[in-house]
Each structure stands twice: as structure tokens, then as C-alpha cells.
Chains A and B, each alone.
Chain A
């Protein structure tokens, strides 16, 4: 149990009312452990993103509990939950969501700045993380001057700069070509994953399945207990 990073139990989420009501996630339970990369896969509309939002403290479930390192995150108030995300969870969004008017280093430094660290200190640490992702020489460029793969690396550097225990990647290869996507996930596997970190990746890109420790499949809002080998064979 001590190795469990995320524990979701019987979470449900529905949208709308009456006939328009959609049950997006149904009685979903799962655990993700430190030191592993867990993939959540499934077709569009299967509830992956909704589930991901609930386990990362962004979307409140209608029922069920989500515990991260033993903390029931949905019992925290809004400010405490925001602080929790800021310190404990790193996000890599599908479209990166980098600020085009800031330099690459400033983009990476944002979580530390939100943590009220000094500007200079945050930028100094951003340089270190940019070096980790191999973009030290791009620090002063705006993100729009970078390639898609480089922007993805910047987004990863931003996600890990606060040394979060949980890293959430939403469709990390969706905006990238095949080779670049594989390289990015391979990079995450080799350089970002540690024994003290849990990485959850939502994807439907079967070309990167080889980098997962475990794969869970969702269909119609439910967890289908599928392991990695079965998916590899598909």
C-alpha cells in the first residue's frame, strides 16, 4: 500500500440532466503506483479525459473518492486543492498550452512563480530543467520558434520543475509525428520516471504502448481490466 500514488475508488461522473444526462465515468476504481508509467487507453468518448481530470483534482466526481499519497483530494477546499496540484501534480497538456509571449525559460518557470518563488530563482531552475530535456540553448526563444517535439519537451520541463510526485500527460503524442512521439515518451521513460514518481498517460496511440508498465483500458466510462501484453498483441 505504501507504494500507491493514486487510488481512485468507485468514482462516477455524469453531465447534464434528465434525458440529456450522460454518465461519462461509471464506478471507476484503480490504483497507480510510484515508479511506474500507467497508460489509460480507449476510444474517443470512453471517458479517459474525464477520469484523468477527476484523479488530478480538476473535475469533481459526483461520487467516489480519489486519494493521492493518502490524501482525499476532493475533501480539500478550492485553494488547498490548487496548492496541492501546484506542488504534487505536473500536467502536460495535449496542446502544450505554452505562453507564446513568454520565453521558453519563463514558460518552464511558471509553476515555481506560482509557488511564490523569486523570479530569478525560478528562471535559474528552469534552465536546469531545460537542460534535462535537452533544450538549454532554446531558453530565450519564444515557444513559437520551437518545433512540435521541442514544445512538448518544454511542456514536460514545466510539468516537472516543481518536482511533482504525479505526472499527468494527456495525449502526449497527438500533436507529434510518429518518430517524435516515440522519442518523447521514450525520453520520459528514461529521464523523468523515478521510483518516487508516478506517471499517468492518457493515449490512444498504440505505437507507444511499449513504454508502459501497465495499461488500463476504458470503454463506455468503465474500466476494462486489460493488461499490457494483451494490448501489445492487438
Chain B
């Protein structure tokens, strides 16, 4: 058959100004999708459920990681000096006193103060015992002190004085007020202030602040007592030198961010938490992909003859691809929004009953779930597009 140069037929008019380039086709695609209520519901449920699981899992992980670094975040020091074997902020390895003098002698150090952080058992007013975390602040500077809601910070120097932190664990101290008394190793303690911090701890115990020396006095300690040294450099540029000098002395100096990363990495890679969360997230992704992929595939298959009829009438391949991509994108984004909303709702409900529920929706979680939803939509629509492009209008005639 002789071939001539292929050209568009001259009788076919260009698109007039009042015409709607793609809106009508997308509207057909939208109606085909949402009017098939059973499949639309199945698609939405699949994606919503998958997004919910992915965000819930990663939010729990993010919450755990954030809480694991609560002390670092709340104290807020620029540089932390510690034993190199430290893995988390909670498991302290006390430093000898001379390290404080050495660090203070490093050029570029504006000041350096000791910090005590340790666990203790409190005997409450009604005779019950409650584990607490005691934070001892440098007596001279009170560096790292929390913001007080009630009381005066000077009162921390009063006899037996402690400041209670009003976080999600506060109720475990039986909601103390100023003047509430307790016992710590047979020492009398008195609440002189109620403070708040930006992050609650991971292990579900309340926190009490006092001075460094009172902490040593009240809590039994080994030979060395300094949990950490908190260092403020003169300028950010001095941090490198400080780290270098501290390392030369056989210890480790980390910036606040580095210390948080170190703690996060421990929970991610040295415990089973990170692996379990990853497995759960992957399973959520597979569930979402299976449900939505299979349902979308069935949806396309059921409409395959109709797509073939559209092709016969005059729809172009790219228009059919656009319809399928639109359907996959629409259902995915709707499911994504519903999944995020459901997750936020569940976390809110959980916190009503469990104030220390460690879940935190971050932009990272949302971004990860979004990428996974895009992958689900991409794979689902790819299968559909392949099918639709393969259908021949001639098949419609053949029946």
C-alpha cells in the first residue's frame, strides 16, 4: 500500500477559545471513578488505611526519638561533653571532676558547667513510691533551668527545694503544688516551683529539677558525679577546637544536634525499635499497594471496553492516559488526606486518655507517606494505562 505524507485533515478545526481543553475529559474520569461507589470506597479505604498505618508507625517512631532526647532538648546547651561510651542521654557515665577544669581551660570556651542527671525513687505524701528523673543544675549559674509556671527560680536555693516539671508525667507525682512535700532517700523534699519544658521524657517518669550539689546530697552516687558538662563556646567557630581538645583528653564533645542524632541513631540501629517500625511501615505500604492496586486494576478492567469505545469514537491514547492518571491521583490524594486526618484524630484521642502517648506527626512522616502514596498511585495507574493502551477499538467491534 503506497504511503503518502501523513497530515492532519484540513476539515478538523483547531480548538476554539470557548472550548475546554481537558476539563470535560477529567470530569468524565472523575464521574466514572466516584460514581462506582463500591470500588471508590474500596480504593479510599485501602489507601486511607495504608496512609494511616504508615503515618502512625512513623509518628510513633518520631515521638519516641524526640522523647529520647528530651533532656538534651530541654537543657538546651550548645555543646555537651561526655564519656565516649555514652549511647543515650539517660545512661550516663560519670566524669571525673578534673575534666571540668580541663574543659574550662580550652580557648574558645565561654563557660562550662556540670550537670547531674540520674534516677531516684520518691516516696510521695500518701506513702507510695514513684520513680523520678533528678536533674541537678549548676548551683552558680542554674544553666539549663526550665521556665517556671509558678514559683520563683531563686527558691531553688531554699532548703530541700525541688522544681517539678508539669509534663505528661506530672500527674504521677499526684499533681503537686508549691509546698508539697515528699521523701527522697530519707531526705525531706519540698516543691518550690512548677515548671514546663518543651519535651517530655521517653520512659514515663516525672522530672524534678534541683541544684547540682543538692542532687549529689540526696541521690546515692559513685566516685565520679558529673553526668555531663554543658559548654557554651565564645563563638560557633570555636566548637571545632573544643571538640578537638576534648577528644584529645579522651572524652567526647557533641553539639546539641549531634547528640540528638547520636541518641536517635542508637534507637534506630542499636535496638529493635527502628527495624520493627520499618517492617511495619513496609507492610503498610504493601497492604495499601495490594488493596488499591488490585481494586484499581479491576476498575480499569471493568471499564476496558468503554475505554475501547472511547478510542473508537476518537479519544487519543494520551487522553485516556490522562483520565487514568487523574483517577489514580485523585483517589490517592483523597485517601492520603483521609489517612492523615484519621491518624491525627487517633493520636488526639489517644492523648486524651494517655497524656504521655509518644506520637508526633512531622513533615518528614507526611512526606514519606506522600511519596509512598505517589508510588502506590504510580504502580496502580501504570497497570491500568498498559491495559488501556493495549485495547484496540477493533476489539470493541468484534465484541
Using a CB–CB distance below 8 Å, which chain A residues touch chain B? 49-50, 52-53, 58-59, 61-65, 69, 71-72, 74-80, 82-88, 91, 93-95, 97, 99, 101-102, 106, 110-111, 113-119, 121-122, 158, 170
Contact = CB atoms under 8 A, between A and B. Distances in A.
Contacts of A58: 312, 392-394, 397
29 contacts: A49-B397, A49-B398, A52-B397, A58-B392, A58-B397, A63-B1, A65-B1, A72-B4, A75-B6, A76-B7, A78-B317, A79-B8, A80-B7, A80-B12, A82-B316, A84-B9, A87-B9, A88-B11, A97-B305, A111-B314, A114-B310, A116-B15, A116-B19, A116-B20, A117-B19, A118-B24, A119-B23, A119-B27, A121-B18
B306 A114 contact: no
Interface in B304-326: 305-306, 308-317, 319
B24 A97 contact: no
Given A61-B1, A80-B12, A101-B35, A119 B399 contact: no
Contact of A111 (B4, B8, B305, B313): B313
Contacts of B9: 71, 76, 80, 83-84, 87-88
A83 B396 CA distance: 19
B36 interface: yes
Nearest to B18: A118
A102 B32 contact: yes
Contacts of A95: 305, 399
A85 B309 contact: no
A110 B32 CA distance: 13
Given A97-B396, A101-B32, A101-B36, A80 B6 contact: yes
Contacts of B20: 116-119
A71 B15 CA distance: 21
Contacts of B303: 99
Interface in B10-34: 11-12, 15, 18-25, 27-28, 31-32
Contacts of A113: 24-25, 27-28
Nearest to B314: A86
B3 interface: yes
Interface centre among B5, B8, B303 (most CB of A within 10 A): B8
A93 to B, nearest CB: 6
Which of A58, A118, A121, A122 gathers most chain B CB within 10 Å? Answer: A58
Interface string B32-56: 1001100000000000000000000
B314 A87 contact: yes
Nearest to B40: A101
Contacts of A72: 4
Contacts of B23: 118-119
A102 B35 contact: yes
A162 to B, nearest CB: 9
Interface string B217-228: 000000000000
A76 B313 contact: no
Given A64-B1, A114-B319, 5 more contacts: A83-B12, A86-B315, A97-B396, A110-B28, A113-B24
A55 to B, nearest CB: 12
Interface string B270-312: 0000000000000000000000000000000001011011111
Contacts of B22: 116
A58 B314 CA distance: 10
A95 B5 CA distance: 36
A92 B22 CA distance: 25
A84 B22 CA distance: 19
B4 A75 contact: yes
A97 B319 CA distance: 18
Contacts of B5: 75
Nearest to B4: A75
B6 A99 contact: no
Contacts of B12: 80, 83-84, 87
A62 B301 CA distance: 30
Chain A CB within 10 A, most for which of B5, B24, B25: B24
Contacts of B6: 75-77, 80
Given A59-B394, A71-B9, A101 B314 contact: no
A88 B317 CA distance: 19
B25 A114 contact: yes
Given A58-B394, A65-B1, A87 B27 contact: no
A84 B5 CA distance: 16
A116 B204 CA distance: 62
A208 to B, nearest CB: 19
Nearest to B25: A113
A221 to B, nearest CB: 15
Contacts of A62: 1
A102 B123 CA distance: 72
A209 to B, nearest CB: 22
Nearest to B28: A113
Nearest to A170: B397
Contacts of A83: 8-9, 12, 314
Contacts of A88: 9, 11
Interface in B379-399: 392-394, 396-399
B393 A122 contact: no
